[in-house]
Amino acid sequence: MPFNYDLDFDNIDFRKQPELYRVGRGEQGVLLVEPYKSEILPHWRFKTPEIATDSSKKIYEIFLEYKEQNDFIGMDMARKFLQMGYTRARRYTNYKGGRKYDEVGKLKERQNDPVKAESASIFMEKWKQARTDKEYLEMKKEHQKRYG
């Protein structure tokens, strides 16, 4: 079942109501699911490789803390933030200012910012660790079996 955007996200605590959480594709819903968004977002940064290193390490630590708490939704949200760190850094690698299209909708010429590319690869490594974690994958399968 796809992510349900019809829910009133402002009034849902997914920690208390895990049955409402659906595992979406990629980063789907990453900025909607509370209380996880508020717990992880303050640590999400990718401007320089140093910042990306600190950020991705902290978010992966949060992933492991959720794992210790047997909190699949938290793990999935941390994984999504790691993925988003990679994808956003790649966007800024390819397009100065992060915008792919100009004001009239014309595709901008691609660039290559090596600093942002390094930030992206730093997030990629932590994202790979999270998405291939055996316990995460087992919990994901169980959540989907139980709640859809």
* pTM for this entry: 0.90
Q: What is the pLDDT of residues 62-93, one digit of tens each?
A: 999 999 999 999 999 999 999 999 999 999 99
CA distances from 47 to 8, 10, 85, 144 (A): 32, 29, 10, 35
**pLDDT score at 2:** 53
Average per-residue pLDDT in the chain?
A: 92
**pLDDT score at 4:** 63
**Domain map (residue ranges) of the chain:** 31-95+117-143
